[in-house]
Amino acid sequence: MKISNINFENNVFLAPMAGITDIVFRGLCKELGCGLVYTEMVSAKGLYYGSSNTESLMKISSIEKPVVIQVFGNDPKIMASACEIFNARDDICMIDVNMGCPVHKIVKNGEGSALMKTPKLAAEIIREMKKVSTKPVTVKFRKGFDSGSINAVEFAKYMEDAGIDAMAVHGRTREQMYQGAADWDIIRAVKENVKVPVIGNGDIFSVEAAVKIREATNCDAIMIARGAMGNPWIFREITQAINAEEVIYPTPDEKLDMCIKHLDLAVKYYEEIKAVREMRKHTAWYIKGLKNCSEIKNKINTKDNYDEVRKVLLAYKDYLRDINM
């Protein structure tokens, strides 16, 4: 897989997800065969005005490099100024522009998926960024803003004309948020109408879905979002399937080991209370479907201490081993 002048080991990527694809989770996915990871979305205005919170989202570990930084905003000049910061970072390989986020607080400011309503402004943003950036610039957008404005193909052409190096397409409108089925036909339509690489995104929760979206869209790469939550093995599984190898799925033991490793790394990078509370959602995803998982989830949700949470997880691991002997 190649974007501009950059080659990647494989074409199975981790999507940017706010509050999820942090430095810890990205590293775990990379270890398990993810071809490319994206940061949580970073505010161009936050960078421009020196926000410490924005800076914290840009921490990158050695194991996950090179990383795509995802940035959002609607001011072409401020978006271009962010590129100057990214140019100096050798741990950042590309800059991705968020034009697909459906969250109200982003959309109401004319950012994220709201830019699909103003393709000329969106194109101006890309042109200004390309003037400054020494790295490839990519974009992620949706099928359209709502059911009355399905304009992904037209939007993709605006992006290509502006000089974009690759694009990721999520097969839902902003109106849908994450409801209903993703429309893979729109991804195929985009692929058929542009020459730059197209990355397909939406409803890839299994090896089977990954194979099907490749066949249905002829996309150059696939991007896994919610399908990776609690399941970083999905990258290894999909790559094995693509290479016609035996697909190896994680055991309950491996799921608990990964959950504990995730917790250990979270405490390494964050203050204990923040790490423990952030791990509540991840733990729920890791243990989903396992025996008595609801009871364990509820127990962990009452803990704010790292040692106590780790003790609960280790005891749960032993319990699962015992009942499966």
Arithmetic mean of pLDDT, 292-312: 96
pTM score, whole prediction: 0.95
Residue 101 among the catalytic residues: yes
User: Which residue type occupies 151?
Assistant: N
Please state, in angstroms and rounded to a whole number, the distance separating the CA atoms of residues 301 and 311.
14
Arithmetic mean of pLDDT, 88-107: 96
- pLDDT, averaged across the chain: 96
Please state, in angstroms and rounded to a whole number, the distance separating the CA atoms of residues 267 and 163.
41
**Per-residue confidence band for 72, with pLDDT thresholds at 50, 70 and 90:** very high
**Joined tokens for residue 310:** 């780790």
Closest CA relative to residue 189, chosen from 217, 222, 164, 157: 217
Pick the catalytic residue from 101, 219, 259, 293: 101
Residue 282 has pLDDT above 80, yes or no: yes
Residue 199 has pLDDT above 90, yes or no: yes
Instruction: Give 3-26 pLDDT, tens digit per residue.
Output: 999 999 899 999 999 999 999 999
Please state, in angstroms and rounded to a whole number, the distance separating the CA atoms of residues 182 and 113.
16
DSSP class of residue 144 equals E
Arithmetic mean of pLDDT, 235-248: 95
Residue 52 has pLDDT above 70, yes or no: yes
**Per-residue confidence band for 146, with pLDDT thresholds at 50, 70 and 90:** very high
Residue 325 has pLDDT above 80, yes or no: no
**Per-residue confidence band for 312, with pLDDT thresholds at 50, 70 and 90:** very high
Hey, what domains does the chain have and what are their CATH numbers?
Answer: 2-242 (3.20.20.70), 252-320 (1.10.1200.80)
**pLDDT score, position 9:** 85
- What is the percent of the chain where pLDDT is above 70? 100
**Per-residue confidence band for 51, with pLDDT thresholds at 50, 70 and 90:** confident
